[in-house]
Structure 1
Amino acid sequence: MATKLYLLYGGQSAEHEVSLKTALTVLNAVDKNKYVVQPIYITREGIWCQPWIAQDELREPEQLRRQPSHDSKAASIGAFLTAMAEGDSLVFPVLHGPGGEDGTVQGLLELAGVPYVGNGVLASAVGMDKLMTKRILEAHGIRQARYIELQQRDWQTAPEQAITLLEQEIGYPCYVKPANMGSSIGISRCANVEETRAGIELALRYDVKLVIEAEVVGREVQYAVMGNEQPRCSIGGEFVREPDFFDYDKKYKQGGLVQQIPAVLTPQLDEAMRETALRAFRALDGAGLMRVDFFVTDGGIAYLNEVNTLPGFTAISMYPALWRETDGTAYRELIDSLIELARERQGARRQEVLS
């Protein structure tokens, strides 16, 4: 009996559109001779639409939007869990952002006992939360930019005190970020107090907890990690671009990005960063895949910027490109590898339960 591969996409986060783009690429690339691919669209309201069998190639993300046949979240999720119990099933979540990348869906799948691609509950939750990620990496001695935390309640009750702390600890320019968000959504580069106030108000639209970081002047270099107990790290890559803030529009709308793989690094620095990427993966209890991003100064000092536990698979995404240039892994082969890692992880967990 053929394996059913459920592709979860859409969702309620601000990264809904990014998820559609990733889903389109994965859907068109997966080997449909190996899997019966059944995409499941989750609306912006959180309703899980009926699975449908994908055979023909799709051209636009808009073709992935579906109309829900259930009138409640509970009913639609219940129907999904019932389907999970039938036959050989596996889930590939391509839900970016909160409500999909943050451990919530992963916990649901754990309860259902269904293997799924990617990181587990802990790594997903911690990796989504920039503040928690920083605290764990700090405990492991991994170099990062200076940062402070800002809670919404503190900004509302004592904004001037928050600004004073920021100026004393971080200074300008700084970056204001929602703790739980990806794709550069809600992030601002702030060069003075007025811009910082506006940046804080913007970030608070997406989360009640913010991270404010000192600017590191340098290039952004990315690495792809794949594996479970014995993870591997790709060569480094970077985007050739102007040295300004790489926001959402520049990532997904403007186009024209040029990938430089391998990144221009000394062999010694590249090796050190690859080892640090693996350290971060293990520190966060990673599984399956993770992209690890660094800033590299002109003096050759590397600062770990952030991790992405569900990196994008769009046409301009770095993660699949890094593996293609590292060892020749084609996109379809990469999907197969991630699925096998999901099965491996599920098998290991079952052995733990039985023992």
Structure 2
Amino acid sequence: MANRRPGTRWALPAATALLAVSGCGMTVSDGSAGPVEEPSPSVIVPALPSTTPRPSGTTRRGPQPVEVQYFVHIDNAADGSPLDARYNIVTDGGTKVRLKISLYGEPGIVTEEYLYTWDGSKILVFSEQNEPPYTVYEAPDEHPDESQLVTHWPQNLWSATKGVQCTELKSTKTIIGRAAVGYRCVTATPQPGGPATGELWRDQATGIMLKEETMVAEKLVLAPTIDATTFSTKPPAGARSTVIAAKDPSPGQTKRAPDFTLDLVKGGRIGLNDLAGKPFVLAFFVPDLAFDEQGEVCPGCRDALLALQTQTGNGARPRVLGVQVGDLGKPGYPLALPGVTLTLAHEQTPMVQNSFGLTGMVSFVFVRADGAIAAAYDHAPTKQQITQSLAALH
């Protein structure tokens, strides 16, 4: 089987539910005079009614350095089983975020954990369930399934998302020792039955979300300890890691093929130096395709490989190298894809694939003779796209 990708598949059920509700509120002005001195990390100043004058040193409303931990209950996970989660969020009040996700298959038993760190530019993901355990995303916007888990927090802790209308309930209650103000929120939804309605509770002093239908805060720390390592997106020295580079070049720039070396399935090695000077194509694929006869898991993937093979004269004009990413199967033999006879290389973990900015079950990259990348696909391209990309190599 192919190696596990970073945490999207497993963490996303809880995250999706949380994203749907975490912005269900609006920023409410409390009439305060602006930023004031923050308390020490170990002190949480009791919230005061918004009409009460606030002495120096109390909490303030709006984005600020904070640590919040939520317990999230999901009735059913993707496979139909109960799923609970804890989200521990640390943010500097700007764009930097550290998010730890703990998933519980049974009460009190952590089944999987993921740590996301966003420094405002890159995202680092760590999980012992992944191989390699550390993954750096150099262009998070190209990977929304990963980036949406972490990058929304600086805004949604305090403010509303689009399509949400909230009305204050004119009542308060205590949550984790904090005075919370309630809102009834209506969210536009395309599902039958009209808009979704629910209650939201925000901390009266800071505006931070404390509770909604499936999520409740368990901890709130204002001005937490933050140092140079808190939002670092650099893996520890010597740690097994991979870097998913930017797939698309910057405006006006040309992306070039990175240096690489791969093991050939039938023996020997091949790299960029062996292919340079003539156009070539790399076709990455996972061995799971050997079992996907009907194209249910990866629609069009087998067809794309066969189309590329046909249009290049069995990978001769230009040269095509199939790259199997993951376990080979029997010793010395790849998990065969019916009809695919391309020269095959192999990498156990997707280091080379990631260096091109690619992560898909099937990924194609078309490289000109000068090393410039003419086209790259992180999915199965159509026959027309393959034809156009081959033409762009000349």
Please confirm whether the aligned pair reaches a TM-score higher than 0.5, indicating the same fold. no
Structure whose CA Rg is larger? 2
Greater helix content: 1
**Which TM-score applies when normalising by structure 1?**
0.23
Query: Relative to total residues, which structure has the larger strand share, 1 or 2?
Result: 2
TM-score (norm 2): 0.22
